[in-house]
Each structure stands twice: as C-alpha cells, then as structure tokens.
Amino acid sequence: MGKPTGFKEFPRQTDSETAPLERLKHWREFKIHGDDKERRTQGARCMDCGTPFCHTGHIVSGMASGCPINNLIPEWNDLIFRGRWHEALDRLHKTNNFPEFTGRVCPAPCEGSCVLGVIKPPVTIKNNECAIIDKGWEEGWVTPRVPAARTGKKVAVVGSGPAGLAAADQLNQAGHLVTVFEREDRVGGLLMYGIPNMKLDKERVVQRRVDLLTAEGVVFKTGVAIGRDAEWTPARLRSDFDAVILCCGATLGRDLPIEGRDAKGVHLAMEFLTENTRYQLDHKFDGTTPALNATGKDVVVIGGGDTGTDCVGTSLRHGCKSVVQLEIMPMPPEERAADNPWPEWPKVYKMDYGQEEAAAVQGGDPRQYLVQTKRFIKDANGDLSGLEICEIEWTKDAQGRFAPKEKAGSARVIPAQLVLLAMGFLGPEQEIIRQFDLETDARTNVKADHGTFTTSVPGIFAAGDMRRGQSLVVWAINEGRGAARECDRFLMGYTNLP
C-alpha cells in the first residue's frame, strides 16, 4: 500500500498546532492540517506490510490493539497517496460513522500497532483519517442519505453519545424510524459536554453531524430523562416502540471520600467540564467564565488520562493561578518497557496538549507521579485552602496484591482553592436500569454480551460504556453499530447491516 519505499524516504510529520501560549487565548480547535501534498506524503509511508495489525481491533493485555471498528486503514492511506480523496472517504465511511470525531479525540490504538512502528515512528493514521473527512465536508461530498423505503418499525435510542448516534445512524439507514432521547439540552452526550471545544468543536463539528442525521430522518428529543421524566417512562418506550437501545454511558464519577471532602471547592471533573462547555456555548465564547471556574485559583487535578488533561487545559484558559496534576501511578518510561511489546498499546511517557500548555505557562510538566492525597484542608468558612499529600510506593499486601504505601516523612501541604477529581468512572447510573428491570454484571454495567448486545429483557439492547464500562469513543461506535445490527435482526429476522 502507498509508495513501496515511502516508509524509508519520508519522516513522520504530524499535524501542526497553534503555539500553546497563543491557543490559551481562545476555545477554538488548535490542530492545523497539513496541505494535500503533505498528507499524500504521509499516506505514502503506509507499508505493504502483509498483515496490517492497524485494523485488527484485538484486545491485548486488556487494551485495544489496532482499530476497534476495523477501519480499512491501508486502503485509504493508499488512496490518499494517489490523490483519490473521494474514494478514500467512501472506504472510511464503510466502517466509521463519525470519522470527524475519532480523527480528533481517539488516542489512536491503530498507530500503536502499526507495523512500521516496530522500527520507525508509525504512520500518521489519525491525522490522515481527520484530513479525509474534513476534506469531504469541505468539498460537499458528505450529504444526507435519506432511506429509499421505511420498514415501519420504530426504535428508541436512549442517550446521544457516540454509541447512541452510531446505533441511530445504522438503524435509520436500514429504514427504521429512529427516535433518540437525550436528557441534556443539546445532542451529543460525551461528545458535546464531556470533551472541551478546543479538542472537538461543538457547533462546527458535532452539531454539523447531528444536523445531517436529522436531515436523514433521525428524530432527536432533548431534555428528556428516561426514568425521571413523567411523560417518557420506560413503560411507554416499551409500548410505543418495537425495540429500545440503551446507550446511557458510564457517568458515575469515582469520588475521593477522605477527610475534608465536604470542603467547598472540590468537584468531580465532569461537573467542571460540562458546566464550562454549556456556559461557553450559551455565551458564544465571549471570553467570560462560568460560576464554577478556575480563575485566579491554585488548581489541583487528581487523576490522569484525557479527562485530567482536559481539566488542565480548561483551567489554564480560565486564567488559573497555578495548576498541579497528581498521579498515583509511576511515571511511564520514555520507550516501551520489556513487558509492553508491540503490538500492545504503548504505555510510554508523553505530553498531551494540556501538559504542553501548562509547561509553556509554568515552565514544566504539571504532573507529579506516585503521589496520594491524604486529606482536603478547609478554612473557617468551609472553603478549600489546600491538600495534604504524600509520596507513595507500590508494595504487595498480605494477599499478594499491589497497594500504595506512604513513604515515611514525605507528607506535605500544597495550596488549592479548586480540586478536580478525574479518577475515572464507576459505571452507569442505576435508576434507569432498575426501571427497565435489567440484570447487571459484577461491575454494575448492564449485562449484555458483546456481539449480541441483548439484555435480560427481550427487545431491550445495551451498548457503549453502559455495557462495557468506561472506554474510548471508537469502542462506543463499535458497540452502537453492533447493537444496531442485532436490533435490526430482532426486528426483521435477518440483517444486512455490517
């Protein structure tokens, strides 16, 4: 695929970015695509590797290796190299309903398993994907596809995140009448309120796709919380629709119930990120900040991952006094460790956009590793004033399990007027599960096997984080597509959905 000797001739060149100090002045996306010539050069680096691990989508050592939606990566890399952009878009849409989302926010497990990555920096798969779909929108190639015929079957999809949107798109194209219920005031779920605008533009990117789905016949009802809404009850969904797909996400954030947790100024990360994005959209990004803000404050983010990074970037845009990010795990190595071989996801040290911005402002990476919070400190008014933290080491307990142990004499106090808890998610909210009378697994997720997505109640399907637990946007698309396929089979007795 691509140019046979391209991987030897051309170095990896990722998309450029607006300089950190400049992009901190606004909420706009900061990635800048290379021109067509540069993208064709990067497509030329795709090897004729024989077995393209990039699109396998296997789970290796508990993590994705290759693309979970099996994108036809070598094919569209080759088409980019040859300048056949429209065909590349057709191949991309074969497996991915929303490449403009994954091309911006996916951590790219495909690149972690790229064969070229064994000996050289991998192909810029994520950038190539984003360039294809953005060019498709710019050229007017992405247009509404209204189904030629309708089956008369009605499906309710609860939740409009990536899993719900993927399921709705697939079922609508199969000819069913699809209604998507969303409890927030805007469609998109995690895509709308869980990811900041500088990573994924809400009006130009997310809403554009929602508008396309609407033009194709999908009906969206916002401000409807199934299970709490008096009009739209689970019983009514089951009576009014022929099938229901639940894609409500894993929205129960992990808390930190230690001394001082009731201090004013300690918040779950998603509360902070959601309120900020809603406010910015309502106020047209006018330069003001919401009531829950980091302006002038010492901010401590507890936890890593994408959510922690987003909290760092958002706090800096609010004009925080300082920002520190605490990680309980050790600092990753610069290169793959011996127990983390290719094609596993590479667990290596990297600076994401938020850390780069913090370094530009503060002079260094804001992360502190192997640190645990002992208590929140509050003043006489109950306001947060600081944290007592300590250094830890991981040792085995009596049962042979690794557990954190405080290093003697390492306790210290750091200032903080805002703490954001970004320690992951425990699972889905349980009320709607109880009202549908569904079985759950040991992790409180809806019990439904991958591949069938069928719950303990006939005609009710579950997909995305609600079924598999906290995961990636690309896995949610995989699950939404899979649930749509099995729902179609349930309704029609067969399915032609991929």
Each domain of the chain, given as residue ranges in start order, spans 6-139, 154-251+426-492, 255-423
Query: Residue 342 above 90 pLDDT?
Result: yes
The rounded percent of the chain whose pLDDT value lies above 70 is 100
The pLDDT assigned to 400 comes to 87
Q: How confident is the model at residue 48 (pLDDT cuts 50, 70, 90)?
A: confident
The pLDDT assigned to 1 comes to 64
Query: Residue 2 above 80 pLDDT?
Result: no
The pLDDT assigned to 33 comes to 87
Contacts of 412 (CB under 8 A, 6+ apart): 388, 389, 390
Q: Which residue matches tokens 């600081």?
A: 386
Alpha-carbon distance 204 to 491, whole Å? 35
The rounded percent of the chain whose pLDDT value lies above 90 is 94
The fold for domain 6-139 equals Fumarate Reductase Iron-sulfur Protein; Chain B, domain 2 (1.10.1060)
Alpha-carbon distance 57 to 65, whole Å? 6
Alpha-carbon distance 77 to 3, whole Å? 10
Predicted TM-score of the model (pTM): 0.96
> Do the Cβ atoms of 13 and 34 come closer than 8 Å?
yes
The pLDDT assigned to 96 comes to 98
Alpha-carbon distance 386 to 67, whole Å? 42
Q: How confident is the model at residue 62 (pLDDT cuts 50, 70, 90)?
A: confident
274-311 pLDDT per residue, tens: 999 999 999 999 999 999 999 999 999 999 999 999 99
Query: Residue 315 above 90 pLDDT?
Result: yes
Query: Residue 468 above 80 pLDDT?
Result: yes
| Cross-strand partners of 302 | 326, 421
The pLDDT assigned to 419 comes to 98
What's the whole-number mean pLDDT along residues 343-353? 95
Query: Residue 324 above 90 pLDDT?
Result: yes
Query: Residue 50 above 90 pLDDT?
Result: no
Q: Is 13 helix (H, G, I), strand (E, B) or coil?
A: coil
> Do the Cβ atoms of 293 and 314 come closer than 8 Å?
no
Torsion sign (Cα): 380, 385, 316, 273: negative
Q: Which residue would you say has higher pLDDT here, 347 or 397? A: 347
Element (H, E) at 371: strand 371-378
| Domain 255-423 -> CATH class | alpha beta
Mean pLDDT, the chain, as a whole number?
A: 96
Query: Same fold for the domain at 6-139 and the one at 154-251+426-492?
Result: no
> Do the Cβ atoms of 133 and 221 come closer than 8 Å?
no
The pLDDT assigned to 441 comes to 96
The pLDDT assigned to 196 comes to 98
Alpha-carbon distance 370 to 410, whole Å? 11
The fold for domain 154-251+426-492 equals FAD/NAD(P)-binding domain (3.50.50)
Phi, psi of 150 (to 5 degrees): -115, 145
Contacts of 81 (CB under 8 A, 6+ apart): 2, 3, 6, 40, 43, 44, 46
